[in-house]
Structure 1
């Protein structure tokens, strides 16, 4: 069953808790979303609050995918670039699909929904994102139309002696 995507949903306690649970579960499954397992909801909560504040300030928009039971199954945050010379592209952050939904094509569906959302924002010509190297994410994003446009070797330290590249990807919307 496909996910139902909503841009800028009402942030209810259930939605907030669903995003928090998703982020925690994705992190604990080894997802590259800013944490290294093990993490707990309380570890993730401050990062979610930062995203919610940016949403309240109008700098960030939330895209949520819900499964047939209405549970949060996927998210991405579209963050407008506030630099006056870079307002023609936005950042895509915290791209997540719940581990129980992996392998169903929902990641591609999420990125397609994010692209549609970005196309609906006046003046946006491209989407940028970064990903942690070494896990195949570059290939996945590449298969969805993103191009690698830069790489910082060893910029992400997952653990002592385990440094990963920070990979910059771009999707032009022309």
Structure 2
């Protein structure tokens, strides 16, 4: 069963709570979405609010995947670049698939839906994202057409003795 993707869904308490729950579940399962486990919904909430504010200001678009039960099962935020010389590509942030749905191809479906959405944005020719090294994410994104275009060694401190590379990936939309 596939997910149903919606770009720019109406943000109501159910959606907000669904994204918050997804973010906590993904983080606590070890996902690389800005936190390390254990993390609470309360710790994540300020980051979600930042995304919601950016959406309200028109700087960010939300792509949500719902499962057959109507639960938020996947998300990605597409953020427009504000630098005048870099407005031809968007950032992809907070790419998440619920742990109970991983291994079903939904991550690939989410990235395909994000690329389809970005192609509808005026003047956008590429998607750029960063990922945490050391977890195989580069291989996954590479298998979805993204190319590694840069790497900053030891840029992410997961723990005092655990530094990871910040890997920059790009997907041309041509």
> If the TM-score is normalised by the length of the shorter chain, which range does it land in?
over 0.9
| TM-score normalized by the length of structure 1 | 1.00
1:117-149 Cα distance to aligned partner (Å, 9 max, x none) = 000001000000000000000000000000000
How big is each residue's C-alpha offset from its partner over 1:49-68, in whole Å with a ceiling of 9 and x where there is no partner? 00000000000000000000
Match of 2:120 in 1: 120
Per-residue deviation, 1:160: 1.0
For residues 140 and 97 of structure 1, the distance between their equivalents in structure 2, rounded to whole angstroms, comes to 13
CA distance in 1, matches of 2:93, 2:41: 19
The answer for unaligned runs of 5 or more in structure 1 is: none
Give the 3-state SS of the residue equivalent to 2:70 in structure 1.
Answer: coil
2:68 is aligned with 1:68: yes
TM-score (structure 2 length as normaliser):
1.00
1:53 and 2:53 equivalent? yes
3-state secondary structure, aligned to 1:92: strand
Count of aligned residue pairs for this structure pair: 174
Aligned pairs (5 A) from 1:1-174: 1-174=1-174
Structure 1 runs of 4+ off > 3 angstroms? none
Report the Cα distance in structure 1 between the residues aligned to 2:119 and 2:99, rounded to whole angstroms. 28
* Partner deviation per Cα, 1:18-40 (whole Å, 9 max, x = no partner): 00000000000000000000000
Secondary structure at 1:168 match in 2: strand
